Amino acid sequence: MVRKKNPEQTRQQILEVTADLLHKHGFKGLRVDEVVEKTGLTKGAIYHHFPNKQALGYAVVDELFHKMFLEHWNELVSRGYPPLETIEASFDDPRGEVCAHDLEVGCPLTNLGQEMAYEDEGFRERITSVFDNWSNQMAAVIRQGIEDGSIKSDVDPLKTARFLTSAFQGIQCNSKCIKDMDRYHDNVAFLRQIVKQLAA
């Protein structure tokens, strides 16, 4: 008896394989034929779930990258750390210690934003949504810190959160270019010092 494939599992497999290829090659370097090869599915099966390459790329951002961010942030908040410790922990890689390879390939979302934000409004809007979500979540934690007295009362939560997330993106972009692990750690450590300066 032939077992029917679960459509949701098939869709998830396609997304995960595509996300890995996007990280390695970028959207312009992504080939649907390679997705077919890596998944073992037919091209018809890929297009059954995603009508074209653009829709596939959009789905990776919406259903994988954004979801991964939310899960990482929600896990941090659930630890019950003081607000500033939660913010500092958000600069940690959820996969563990950053290695040289991580610096070389960079952040998949930041990479995609640099590649496609100018050329494709759909990608720009989706990637902006993820980073805005991060800023808004961080701003909420800063407000919590102001309310409990652990963060200075004159700190602007949203502007500060936007600066911190942008600074971390900049560190990631710079590190991908220079491939210097020591400088990456120095920059992240300095960013953490900036966060500490928010303490009341």
pLDDT per residue as tens digits for the range 135-144: 999 999 999 9
pLDDT at 99: 58
pLDDT at 135: 94
Q: Is the pLDDT of residue 3 over 60?
A: no
The whole-model pTM stands at: 0.85
DSSP 6: P
Q: Which residues of 42-51 are buried (b: 16+ CB within 10 A; e: fewer)?
A: eeebbeebbe
Confidence of residue 179 (pLDDT cuts 50, 70, 90): confident
The rounded Cα 59 to chain-centroid distance in angstroms is: 14
Q: Are 115 and 28 in contact (CB under 8 A)?
A: yes
pLDDT (tens digit per residue) in 160-172: 999 999 999 999 8
39 token code pair: 């998944």
- In CATH, the number for domain 59-196 is 1.10.357.10
Cα 169 from Cα 179, distance rounded (Å): 15
Mean pLDDT for 67-83 is 89
